[in-house]
Amino acid sequence: MKKKILLCGANGYVGSLFYKRYHYKYDIFPIDNLLVKRKKFSFVKIKDYKNLDENFLNKFDICLWLSGHASVQQCNKDPEGAFQNNTVDLIEFKKKFDRNNRRGRQGTFIYSSTGSLYNNLSKKKNSEEVRLSESANMYDFSKSTLDKYFSLVENNFICLRFGTVVGASPSFKNELLLNRMSQDAIIKKKIYLANPENYRSILYIVDLVKSLEIIIENHKDLRNEIFNLCSINSNIGNFANYVSNFYKVKILKLANSPSYSYLMSNSKFKSFTKFVFTTDIDEILDNIRNYLLYSKF
């Protein structure tokens, strides 16, 4: 029997690639409320997760939540809506989903958080157990609040703190670090660099969706844990140098501006699952370049 998965955020950057790669393996019901305006994929059902009833939810083994207000900019434009969507409504939805467990179906709620919660904590790779600092914006506040609430109160969940996700997807996001640099290298024949000393953990989107597959296959053994997911740690200057050498273009330095700086450890996830993350930046850049030049999706 195929596992039945409710995929929330199926029209998004990560959700669209997960569906493309795994709809043949799992029985996926892909929904999206199209809160972010972008091209709609034909496989997506336009539904708001908050409006799904318990009888409908009772059929699923997994809820994979890759939705919500997913950027600092989006949260800043709508702080009240961001808090409601990323915390209050999601907590209520998790309770509704959990009622399935009382009917005998041991479903698991898997949701996306963010590595930006480690901003400016340490120049060492931060583990999941580190004490988080005060939130600098509504995006981080909503994510940290949910993580703390789930850890204190909930069961049957898996929290995934993503590094900065990069790589090709049917719903490509061109503003994300290596994606932006690659697009500028191809179109403008140069890349722009600010905050070169700031650290960043990147998560190759192929690693991400492969990790989701492993988590889904082993979800009962991974419950009630927070996992960092990241592929490579470095500073933004080093990433820019890699991109510059890969595309043979020059770097144009810009004035520094407020920006995240964080490092993440993926040791816990590797210990639990034996997963091997990609460490070859050329492989990641080649994936992005193929998408930008040949539109493989």
Which single residue is written with the structure tokens 């470095």?
234
Asked whether residue 40 is assigned to any structural domain, the reply reads yes
Asked whether residue 282 is assigned to any structural domain, the reply reads no
Tens-level pLDDT at each residue, the chain (297 residues):
899 999 999 999 999 999 999 999 999 999 998 888 788 999 999 999 999 988 899 889 999 999 888 888 888 898 898 899 899 999 999 999 987 655 556 789 999 999 999 998 888 899 999 999 888 899 999 999 999 999 999 989 999 999 999 999 999 999 999 999 999 999 999 999 999 999 999 999 999 999 999 999 999 999 999 999 999 999 999 999 999 999 999 999 999 988 899 999 999 999 999 999 999 999 999 999 999 999 755
Could you tell me the CATH number of the domain that includes residue 155? 3.40.50.720
Asked whether residue 153 is assigned to any structural domain, the reply reads yes
Q: How many independent structural domains does the chain possess?
A: 1
Nearest one of 150, 106, 97, 108 to 128, comparing CA atoms: 150
> What is the reported pLDDT for 297?
53
Asked whether residue 174 is assigned to any structural domain, the reply reads no
CB within 8 A of 288, min separation 6: which ones?
A: 166, 167, 168, 178, 179, 182
Asked whether residue 188 is assigned to any structural domain, the reply reads no
Asked whether residue 190 is assigned to any structural domain, the reply reads no
Q: How far is CA 108 from CA 100, 114, 120, 217, in A?
A: 10, 19, 32, 11
* Residue 197 near residue 264 (C-beta atoms within 8 A): no
Q: Give the residue numbers spanning the domain of 218.
A: 4-167+202-231+263-277
Which single residue is written with the structure tokens 């990323």?
86
Asked whether residue 214 is assigned to any structural domain, the reply reads yes
> What is the reported pLDDT for 143?
94
| pTM for this entry | 0.95
Asked whether residue 61 is assigned to any structural domain, the reply reads yes
Q: How far is CA 262 from CA 8, 132, 274, in A?
A: 27, 12, 24
